[in-house]
Amino acid sequence: MTTRAVLALALAAAGLAGAALASPAHAADPRSTVLFDQDCASSLGRRDLTLYANGTIRLVEGLKGKERMRLGELDPDRLEGFRRRLAQVDLSDAEGMGSPVGGNWVEKCLLSVRRDGAMHKYRFNRYDTLSLALEQLTLIGRDLAAQVPAEESGRHLPVDYEPRLGDVLERIDGHRFQVVGFTSDGKGVELEGETDPLTLYLTVKAMRQRFVALISRRSQE
C-alpha cells in the first residue's frame, strides 16, 4: 500500500472517530445539564433553585439541616420560553454592586447560568444593589420557582384572601412570613421570613397554595 493510500485511510478513520464523538450517544444528558441555578444560603437556611435542560425544576429549601426538595416540570414550549429569556440577558452587565450589610445570617447567593456551553457564575448577597442583568436573572428565578407545585397539606388560605402589607402568614412547613411589598406590576407579592432570612416573590394564587393560615393582620387606619 502506498504512503498516499495509508494517509487517506488514516484521515478517513479520524473523520469517523470525530463523527462518533459528535453523535447523540456522546451528547450531554439533558437530565443532568444545568441551564440555571441560584443557590442562596445563610447560617440559618438555604434555598437552591435549579433548571435542567430537560425541563425539570428542582427546588431545595428550608432551615439548615431540614431542607426539603420539590420538583416541577416545564413543557417544551415553556422550557423554550425560559431558554429565550436567559439568552436575552446581557451577561456583561451581571454583577453585584455591594452592600454595607453583612454577617453569617445574611443570605449569600451563587447564581449560575449556562451560555454557549459554559457556566457563568455570579456572587452577591441579599442586600446587594444588583445590576440590571442580575435583576433580570433573579426575576427569571422567581418565575421558575412559581412553576414548582406546592406541597399538599390539606390546608389553604381562603380563596378570597387578598394580601396586605404587614400580614403574617404560616407556610405549609410551619414557617412564618410577612408581606413586606408588592411588585411594580401588582401581580407579585414580596414576603420575608420571620425566623429565617429568606425572601419570596409569589403570585397571590401561589400564596394560596403555599400558605395555610393568616396569623395576624395590621388594623386598617
Please state, rounded to an integer, the average pLDDT across all residues of the chain: 80
Which triple of cell numbers denotes residue 3?
Answer: 504512503
Kindly indicate the confidence band of residue 27, based on its pLDDT and cuts at 50, 70 and 90.
low
> Does residue 14 register a pLDDT over 60?
no
Mean pLDDT, rounded, for 188-215? 83
Question: What is the Cα–Cα distance from 49 to 83, expressed in whole angstroms?
Answer: 16
Question: What is the Cα–Cα distance from 75 to 85, expressed in whole angstroms?
Answer: 16
> Does residue 152 register a pLDDT over 60?
no
> Does residue 45 register a pLDDT over 80?
yes
Kindly indicate the confidence band of residue 198, based on its pLDDT and cuts at 50, 70 and 90.
confident
> Does residue 143 register a pLDDT over 70?
yes
Q: What is the pLDDT of residues 57-83, one digit of tens each?
A: 999 988 878 888 888 899 999 999 999
pTM > 0.75: yes or no: no
Contact present, 158 and 65 (Cβ < 8 Å) = no
Question: What is the Cα–Cα distance from 19 to 13, expressed in whole angstroms?
Answer: 10
Kindly indicate the confidence band of residue 169, based on its pLDDT and cuts at 50, 70 and 90.
very high
Q: What is the pLDDT of residues 78-118, one digit of tens each?
A: 999 999 999 999 988 776 544 444 556 678 899 999 998 89
> Does residue 155 register a pLDDT over 70?
no
Mean pLDDT, rounded, for 183-188? 82
Which triple of cell numbers denotes residue 2?
Answer: 502506498
Contact present, 187 and 128 (Cβ < 8 Å) = no
> Does residue 24 register a pLDDT over 70?
no
Q: Give the amino acid at 10.
A: A
Residues contacting residue 90 through CB under 8 Å, at least 6 positions apart = 132, 133
Kindly indicate the confidence band of residue 190, based on its pLDDT and cuts at 50, 70 and 90.
very high
Going from the N-terminus, what domains does the chain have, and what CATH number goes with each? 27-149 (3.30.1560.10), 150-221 (2.30.30)
Higher pLDDT among residues 47 and 5, named by residue:
47
